[in-house]
Chains A and B, each alone.
Chain A
Amino acid sequence: MSADDDRSPAGATALGDAAPGAQRQAMERFLAEVEKRAFQLAWLALRHEDDALDAVQDAMLQLCRRYAERPADEWRPLFFRILVNKVQDQRRRRTVRGRWLAWWTQGQPADAEEAVPDVLDSTPDTLLEPTRRLEGEGALRAVAAAVQALPPRQQQAFLLRNVEGLDVAGTALAMGCSEGSVKTHYFRALQALRLAVGEDMP
């Protein structure tokens, strides 16, 4: 299976009755293990560092506030469900902001149009730094670019199944859709990646 995961979950037992210290340790292990890939997922979807960090932090907070008492093996799909929702919220907000900006700039004189800065374009993109360090690895850049170019739902399905290692049911829970939809999104994502980078990629 493409989503086989060699990582064991942060804990497979219910921690609802465990001591608070043990619960905190288990949650910290889980979050530390998952946070960088979660950030990558959010960044690939949003292309904005602060927005991605906000989404990850909100997801962490909500998991700790509402779902810490749930069994630890449920944390991963729950966390990514929250994160996916946060990312979609950010996208919607950005769309609204973009429309408002477009409307605003249409109504301005030509010289004033340049005075309205594009917040997204002016934000430094520091996540590209690791990629620049790996300049020689063209494969990484090609893969990252191909994944970035995927439609949002295909991108989520691919990252959750392939990179995060969730099974079909867990991915469906995280994406808030049926298992059939997950399979379809994943299949189409793979097809698009094959077209973009080729099957024989190193």
Chain B
Amino acid sequence: MTTPLEQATRELLRSRAESLDGRLRSRLNRARQVALDELAPPGRWSRTPILPLAAALGAAAVALLLLLPHGTRRSPAPVAPVAVAALDDSDLMGAGGEGLLDEDPTLFALAAADEAAK
């Protein structure tokens, strides 16, 4: 059973709570809205760990590029091996016909003597 004292105090304290001034009501209202904003469901993408993971990976890649020493990034171009088998006698002669024979007069004289003997 509720005694008269309990009933009276309840009514008085409830009416006292309802008679808060406008400034306090406004502050309570703001506090309520701030709290309710916590209920707003986050966006679909922000709930998944994909975006933060991708961002972290991207940042790591950029950091890696920046931190790498320059020498490893600018490695010299490989030298193509000379195809020895592709050389033939015409290469010895040179483009204008002056090859090894033109440069060695002894060899030229020997060749001329052979030609005369024939």
Indicate which residue in B16, B27, B35 contacts A53 across the interface (CB closer than 8 Å). B27
Nearest-neighbour CB distance to chain A for B18, whole angstroms, equals 6
B19 within 8 A of partner (CB): yes
- CB-CB under 8 A for A64 and B24, given A159-B13, A200-B4: no
CB-based contact B35/A36 at 8 Å: no
CB-based contact A20/B34 at 8 Å: no
Indicate which residue in A1, A37, A60 contacts B2 across the interface (CB closer than 8 Å). A1
> How many residues on B have C-beta within 8 angstroms of the other chain's C-beta atoms?
33
- Among the stretches A89-97, A101-109, A130-138, the one at the interface with B is A130-138
- CB-CB under 8 A for A193 and B9, given A20-B41, A64-B38, A144-B16: yes
* Chain B 1-41 interface residues, beta-carbon cutoff 8 Å to A: 1-6, 8-10, 12-21, 23-25, 27-28, 31-32, 34-36, 38-41
Nearest-neighbour CB distance to chain B for A103, whole angstroms, equals 33
Chain B residues with CB under 8 Å of A120's CB are none
Indicate which residue in A57, A144, A198 contacts B35 across the interface (CB closer than 8 Å). A57
Chain B residues with CB under 8 Å of A60's CB are 31-32, 34-35
> How many residues on A have C-beta within 8 angstroms of the other chain's C-beta atoms?
51
Indicate which residue in B2, B4, B21, B36 contacts A201 across the interface (CB closer than 8 Å). B4
Nearest-neighbour CB distance to chain A for B110, whole angstroms, equals 104
CB-based contact A143/B32 at 8 Å: no
CB-based contact B3/A2 at 8 Å: yes
CB-based contact B14/A163 at 8 Å: yes
Chain A residues with CB under 8 Å of B10's CB are 162-163
Cα distance A23–B34 when bound, in Å?
15
Q: Which of A49, A140, A158, A200 has the most CB of B within 10 A?
A: A140
Cα distance A32–B34 when bound, in Å?
13
| Binary contact track A107-135/B, C-beta < 8 Å → 1, others 0 | 00000000000000000001101110110
| Binary contact track A21-39/B, C-beta < 8 Å → 1, others 0 | 0011001100110011101
